[in-house]
Amino acid sequence: MRTLLLILFIGFISLYSNFDLHAQISLRYENNETLTYDEVIEAYKYLDEKYKTAKLLTVGETDIGKPLHLFVMSKDSDYDPESIHKKGRCVIFVNNGIHPGEPPGIDASIQFAIDVLDNKAKMNKYLDNCVICIIPVYNIGGCLNRSPYHRTNQDTPPESGFRGNGKNLDLNRDFIKMDSKNARSLVQTFHTWKPEVFLDTHTTNGSDHQYTLTLIATVFQRLPEPMSSYFKENMVPSLYNKMKTSPYEMIPYVNWNTRNADDGISAYFDAPRVSTGFASLFNTYAFMTENHVYKPFSDQVKSVYHFLSALAEFSNANYKEIIKTKKQADKISANEKLFISSWRLNKNLKEMLLFKGYNGEMKKSPLTGNMNYHYDINSPYIKEVPFYQYFTPGDTIQKPKMYIIPQAWEKAIEYLMLNGVRLSRLQKDMKIEVEAYYLESFKYSQRPGNGHFRINEIKTNRENQTIQFYKGDYIIEMDQPTNRFIMEVLEPTTIDSYISWNFFNPIFDRREYFSPSGFEKKAMNYLESNLDLKQKFEEKKANDPDFAENGYSQMGFIYTNSPYYEKSHKRYPVYRINNTINLPFE
């Protein structure tokens, strides 16, 4: 009965000027309940109506058919992103409910917004130099799909949302490929607001330990200097120190190398497909909170609340340096000539971390009889463990002067535009000398990953060619702050390139073939006029018995090494222009 009354209260909060939203929200999470989607939106609508310094915006569509919302807190009621940046304010962007079965951030953000707007403990000061943007619930379809059975490893709350969205996609693997309307709406919103600081709220059921909250800070080495140093030496340590003074001391995300704590923890490498990896590509200071699911839900919510406060307090106090370093990083990105396309964890560099954990042991399962690892919360320990957080560059790629993409590849072009990339169009048909990639080898994944059979282990070779392009094809000049993103998605060998996510699959198909009777005479003539190929052909017959007995394979060998074989097969349809040339485009 009490729960029903609370739902009715939330549903009609706009009718009550004396309604105590603070008390109702806290009562829910203290009672191990998380708000429903409708209750969340009604709460933000109430705050919009009550405070002139807050506004709930509709910013796009989602796969479930309901709009994506953005709640903005701005001290002077300015809700124009361009105007806000001109005023020199720092934009903090908080994303909640990407996995609705991990809801602490949803409830914590409402509590945080209430207290900022009510000026509890002078929290309104966070808006002196910052504008705070909150996505109430990103994965709306998953949030509406509530059940007590979604999270078998999670004790709290007893009913919560589903990991997949309305399209059964994991939205935290969708920031590059953008298969969902949710992702396309969020990405547009991100680029509209151009945040300096980004936070995504999650929970995890990994190892057991004494911490309620752990933190993933994006890999600092990927950020240009001086942004990288400021992040590692100032921003991140300050947040840990602030959380240490709260009831919820924080630790880096617990990514054990082995079950032996003495082997240490490795920093999580956030690839561009996930929220923080995506945000950092645009030189945004990016964080992901990871609550521990075995801790009481009220503590999970409160710990995120304290982190939100710490992040807002730091950003407000240091807004000038945050904005300055991001602008410097954007300028460096626009002018950098060498792009790092892969990273390796450096196991030779480590720092010692004081860690509060629980001992564990292998125990026989009473159900299966197998041995499983169990943590013993009655056996805590505190000791130093190695923390590996240094990544070193692997492969590097020289930036071209520009890329050119035929207009036929409209999905890639559209998604580049959605990400704020500046494209121009060729103004006439013409042949252009380019550097073309051919896919020499690759592997398809054996199982689908978030809706895709991905293409992995791509190896390429390059060939200079003169190719016919047409009026309306797209040119990308490589003098943009978005260069890191451009090269991450357009260079084929990167971890989350567009081709790895199947954007260009038709290039793997052949469209022209030969028939033995029709091609035989041409094949013989071509061999006689190309003695090097003839020698290789004869050597292969001599050394490969199967080849020597297979007439079709022999003819196929000649065909694929002749001008009759289509040049476009396995040719990557994004071309590099390395020379300074004047092209007619606008």
Q: For the residues 97-111, what does the mean pLDDT come to?
A: 97
Which residues are within 8 A (CB) of 470 and not within 5 positions of it... i.e. 6 or more apart? Answer: 406, 407, 426, 429
Q: What is the pLDDT of residues 411-424, one digit of tens each?
A: 999 999 999 999 99
What is the DSSP-derived secondary structure letter of residue 585? B
Over the Cα atoms of the chain, what is R_g? Answer: 28
Q: Inform me whether the pLDDT recorded for 44 exceeds 70.
A: yes
Q: Inform me whether the pLDDT recorded for 117 exceeds 70.
A: yes
Nearest one of 190, 486, 223, 191 to 330, comparing CA atoms: 223
In the chain, the percentage of residues whose pLDDT exceeds 90 is 90
Q: Inform me whether the pLDDT recorded for 6 exceeds 70.
A: no
Q: What is the pLDDT of residues 218-272, one digit of tens each?
A: 999 999 999 999 999 999 999 999 999 999 999 999 999 998 999 999 999 999 9
Q: What is the pLDDT of residue 92?
A: 99
Q: Is the dihedral of CA 20, 8, 156, 278 positive or negative?
A: negative
Alpha carbon 290 to its chain's center? 15
| CA–CA distances in Å: residue 144 to residues 97, 136, 138, 164, 238 | 11, 13, 11, 11, 37
Q: Contact at 8 Å (CB) between 406 and 423?
A: no
Q: What is the pLDDT of residue 209?
A: 95
Q: For the residues 143-162, what does the mean pLDDT come to?
A: 89
Q: What is the pLDDT of residue 233?
A: 98
Please state, in angstroms and rounded to a whole number, the distance separating the CA atoms of residues 185 and 574: 26
Confidence of residue 126 (pLDDT cuts 50, 70, 90): very high
117 or 579: which carries more pLDDT confidence? 117
Q: What is the pLDDT of residue 13?
A: 47
| CA–CA distances in Å: residue 384 to residues 215, 216, 351, 389, 522 | 18, 19, 10, 15, 73
Q: CA-based angle 296:297:302, to the nearest 5?
A: 105
**Residue 328 CB neighbours (<10 A):** 16
Q: What is the pLDDT of residues 454-489, one digit of tens each?
A: 999 999 999 999 999 999 999 999 999 999 999 999
Q: What is the pLDDT of residue 405?
A: 98
Mean pLDDT of the chain: 94
Please state, in angstroms and rounded to a whole number, the distance separating the CA atoms of residues 124 and 114: 10
Q: Inform me whether the pLDDT recorded for 357 exceeds 50.
A: yes
Q: Inform me whether the pLDDT recorded for 348 exceeds 60.
A: yes
| CA–CA distances in Å: residue 250 to residues 29, 212, 291, 310, 458 | 21, 8, 10, 12, 39
Confidence of residue 586 (pLDDT cuts 50, 70, 90): confident
Q: What is the pLDDT of residue 173?
A: 97
Nearest one of 393, 400, 524 to 464, comparing CA atoms: 400
| CA–CA distances in Å: residue 79 to residues 20, 278, 309, 322 | 26, 24, 21, 21
Q: For the residues 137-157, what does the mean pLDDT come to?
A: 91
Joined together, the tokens standing for residue 60 give 């796009």
Q: What is the pLDDT of residue 25?
A: 83
Q: What is the pLDDT of residue 19?
A: 60
